[in-house]
Amino acid sequence: MFEYYYHEILRNTIVSFGTLFNNLQIKHKDESGDDYNVIKVPLAYGPTQKFLARLEQSPDLSKPVQMSLPRMSFEFTSLTYDTSRKVSTTQTFTTSLASDKKAIRKVFMPVPYNMAFELAIYTKINDDMLQIVEQILPYFQPHYNLSVNLVSVIGEKRDIPVIFEGITMTDNYEGNFDTRRALIYTLRFTAKTYLYGPVADVSKDVIKKVTVGYTAGGQSTTQTRDLSYSVEPRATKNYTGDASTTLAENLTKTETSVEVADATDIPENTYIYIGQEEMYVTKKTGNVLTVKRGQDTSIAAEHVLGEGVFKIDAADNALIEAGDDFGFNGL
């Protein structure tokens, strides 16, 4: 009855949900109203109790290994069948492979499931918490659509509504004045996703023509959404170890023009990796690359003449080792 298949639907939905909150910032202002401190809030995957235990075991803020605040974590907590979206269990549709439009495949209609998530936010002061929450809540009215690649082999993408269910607030401020304070807000969400069965090969059947009732680009009378989101996890460093070129001059921490020995193999709108720093190439003029420094939480640093310049491409994406944190380690 059963056969092996794995579309990574649940995993892709988890990664897509986490990436929604992966670039939040808070700002501290001085008396004149100028920003003097900008902090990107780290995001990790794991239960709330894990991070509370770390806070309790290392309450001394002066320790270099102490977990700093603010911080966020999220967790996939439950999976339930959604009877309100049920369709016939024997109904099928036919489509083609994303890589070969002539290769016809048959798929049973997807099964609706609700994925429950919890997003926990930890801060030390109220203003930090309010900044983070105010950057999240306006997007959920009460739902926000994620465009998720559910079955990549047939190019099946769907808009997954992520519904904001509610929020609970805790001010963990007990003990004497030396005790560390921790404000904890827990936001609950539900993602209405679909699970697909195996993709059957029917190319040898008598099907001569297939019409698929899905909008796949082109002109449409459907009104565009104000908010849309899609995510495809990618590598943030080079794994293959093959340098595309080398630096033709020294590079300071602030320069955005990078001169290389040969830029032939580095196209525009791609990521490169030098030392421990990731950069994004926005423009190429001869052998001079215009870049954005310190991408994906990497730190802008000085680099020297002759240092290797590595291109981050699909080969690096294929070498990412999947872990239990889905790539969200809070670093």
Domain interval for residue 70: 9-201
Q: What is the pLDDT of residue 183?
A: 85
| Residues 194 and 257 both lie in one domain | no
- Would you place residue 262 in the very low, low, confident or very high pLDDT band (cuts 50, 70, 90)? very high
Q: Is residue 206 part of a domain?
A: no
What integer pLDDT is reported at residue 28 of this predicted model?
Answer: 87
194, 256: one domain: no
Query: Residue 152 in contact with residue 98, Cβ under 8 Å?
Result: yes
Residue 172 shares a structural domain with residue 259: no
Q: Give the residue from 166, 201, 236 where a domain finishes.
A: 201
46 and 136 in a single domain? The answer is yes
Same domain, 169 and 91: yes
For residue 46, being part of any structural domain is answered with: yes
2 lies in some domain? no
| Last-in-domain residue among 148, 177, 201 | 201
15 within domain boundaries? yes
How many secondary structure helices (H) and strands (E) does the chain include?
Answer: 4, 17
Dihedral sign of CA atoms 55, 58, 59, 62 in order:
negative
- Same domain, yes or no, for 279 and 184? no
**Coil vs helix vs strand at 83:** helix
| 189, 41: one domain | yes
pTM over 0.75: no
As a whole number of angstroms, the distance between CA 84 and CA 82 comes to: 6
Asked if residue 137 and residue 82 are part of one domain, the reply reads yes
> Same domain for 175 and 29?
yes
Is 293's pLDDT higher than 90? yes
Phi, psi values for residue 291, rounded to 5°: -130, 160
CA–chain centroid gap for 76, Å, is 14
Domain presence at residue 179: yes
Phi, psi of 268 (to 5 degrees): -70, 160
Q: What is the pLDDT of residue 249?
A: 93
Residue 168 included in any domain: yes
Q: Are residues 136 and 261 in the same domain?
A: no
**129 and 21 both lie in a single domain:** yes
Structure tokens at 115: 């994925």
Which pLDDT does position 279 carry in this prediction?
A: 92
Domain end position, chosen among 143, 168, 201:
201
Q: Per-residue pLDDT averaged across 50-76, rounded? A: 63
Kindly calculate the radius of gyration of the chain based on its CA atoms and give it in whole angstroms. Answer: 24
User: Does residue 207 lie in a domain region?
Assistant: no
Tell me the average pLDDT of the chain: 78
CATH code, domain with 100 = 3.30.2000.40
Encoded amino acid at 105, one letter: R
Q: Taking a C-beta distance cutoff of 8 angstroms, is the pair 112, 81 a contact?
A: yes
CB 126 within 8 A of CB 169: no
The whole-number pLDDT of residue 181 equals 64
- Does any domain span residue 98? yes
Helix (H) or strand (E) holding 55: helix 48-57
Helix, strand or coil for residue 51? helix
pLDDT, tens only, 103-148: 666 777 888 999 999 999 988 888 999 999 999 999 998 899 988 8
Are residues 196 and 253 both part of a single domain? no
User: How many domains does the chain contain in total?
Assistant: 2
Q: Are strands 156-172 and 104-108 parallel, antiparallel or unpaired?
A: unpaired
